[in-house]
Amino acid sequence: MDAYDLITRNAAEVVTEDEVRSLAEDPDGKRAYVGYEPSGVLHIGHMLTANKLIELQEAGFEIVVLLADVHAYLNGKGTFEEIRETADRMREQFVAYGLEESDTEFVLGSEFQLDEEYTLDLHALELETNLSRAERAMAEIQSGDTATVAQAVYPLMQALDIVYLDVDLAIGGMEQRKVHMLARDTLPSIGADAPTCLHTPLIADLSTGVGKMSSSAGVSISMEDSEEELREKVNKAYCPPSRDPEPDGDGNDRDNPVLQIFEYHVFPRFGEVVVERPEQYGGDLEYGDYESLAADLDSGELHPADAKGALAEYLNELVAPGREKIRQQRS
Ligand code: IYR
């Protein structure tokens, strides 16, 4: 796979393609980052962007993980002390998940976001941004129904992080795209470049295939799930025996979360998949890429129950080191 294909693999969108192509010409030493509001335990959304970071590390990028303590505070996630404590635990879980510690720079937002220069640049961005745009950028990020002033400051700080962390590529889930677009439009006003961005897809809700999976509503997969819990959640997941259950032109009304997890989590980390089946049902199936697995589900060769059984096993392997880390953290 060439560098551009590896960088953009499984991305829902890149802004812009030309800018990413130019990064791909010589990725060595380029810097990419994701920011996370510290929460106690990694869930499958964190793991999705982390997969991209691991791929970028392979492509030669330096990786910066921002543990966005000030952002979590502005978004009403707790007291500063609580948030700082969870940031440490989260860092350890990312390393257990597979981010090379020696190759990853973990930065706490408060290490630089409270500096005078940062604050003055923030005020300059505040002058450049109208309130409703800042609010719109937060629609899929903010906690609670009513936007606060703190939440309007939040996306401007996220924009500024890109400058202060000196990164070449900003990564985030699709829910971050409006913040990044705001960053592209406003950063030039303080003399900084418009950032290049890559957005990862959102995984559909596990039980319905509608909307997006989140830790706050519905069923989510997290690093602390036991093998048994993973098996139960995956067994109950929405997985129709075809990839587009309601062909209606866009094929997007309901997605198949089981297939999405194979595509975005299992294949990127394991490279191949073996679905174990008893001899009497045709024996094991082996897949070297996502497309062939999805095609077999479509054709009926692969039964949803067998796909789910395999998925639970692979997910268990992915979360096991983090689960062990969480157990140590709590003892
Ligand atoms: N908005 C992110 C957290 C975050 C991301 C980046 I990239 C930052 O520079 C700062 C915060 C979230 O929703 O978790």
Tell me, using a 6 A CB cutoff, whether residue 172 lines ligand 1.
yes
- pTM of the shown model: 0.95
Place of tokens 């996220």: 158
pLDDT for the residue 318: 98
pLDDT for the residue 103: 86
pLDDT digits (tens, 9 = 90+) for 138-151: 999 999 998 999 99
pLDDT digits (tens, 9 = 90+) for 277-312: 999 999 999 999 999 999 999 999 999 999 999 999
pLDDT for the residue 219: 77
pLDDT for the residue 212: 77
The model's confidence at residue 213, banded by pLDDT at 50, 70 and 90, is confident
Please list, residue by residue across 39-56, b when 16 or more beta carbons sit within 10 angstroms of its beta carbon and e when fewer do: bbbbbbbbbbbbbbbbbb
Ligand 1 atom closest to the Cα of residue 162 is 9
* Distance in Å, CA 71 to ligand 1 centroid: 7
The model's confidence at residue 192, banded by pLDDT at 50, 70 and 90, is very high
* 271 has pLDDT over 70: yes
* Distance in Å, CA 204 to ligand 1 centroid: 21
- The enclosing H or E element of 58 equals helix 44-58
The residue among 274, 201, 251, 227 whose CA lies nearest residue 48 is 201
pLDDT digits (tens, 9 = 90+) for 224-261: 999 999 999 999 999 988 766 555 555 456 789 999 99
Tell me, using a 6 A CB cutoff, whether residue 170 lines ligand 1.
yes
pLDDT for the residue 130: 97
Tell me, using a 6 A CB cutoff, whether residue 178 lines ligand 1.
no
Amino acid in position 306: D
pLDDT for the residue 211: 75
Average pLDDT of the segment spanning 101-129: 97
Q: What is the rounded distance in angstroms from the CA atom of residue 66 to the CA atom of residue 44?
A: 18
Average pLDDT of the segment spanning 153-163: 98
* Distance in Å, CA 140 to ligand 1 centroid: 12
pLDDT for the residue 45: 93
Complex-level ipTM beyond the 0.90 threshold: yes
Residues making up the binding site: 33, 154, 158, 161, 176, 215
Tell me, using a 6 A CB cutoff, whether residue 71 lines ligand 1.
yes
* Distance in Å, CA 86 to ligand 1 centroid: 15
Tell me, using a 6 A CB cutoff, whether residue 176 lines ligand 1.
yes
Q: What is the rounded distance in angstroms from the CA atom of residue 197 to the CA atom of residue 152?
A: 21
* Inter-residue contact 129 to 108 (CB < 8 Å): no
Residues making up the binding site for L-tyrosine: 33, 154, 158, 161, 176
pLDDT for the residue 119: 98
* Distance in Å, CA 186 to ligand 1 centroid: 17
* Distance in Å, CA 38 to ligand 1 centroid: 10
* 95 has pLDDT over 60: yes
Ligand 1 atom closest to the Cα of residue 159 is 9
Tell me, using a 6 A CB cutoff, whether residue 35 lines ligand 1.
yes
Q: What is the rounded distance in angstroms from the CA atom of residue 179 to the CA atom of residue 227?
A: 36
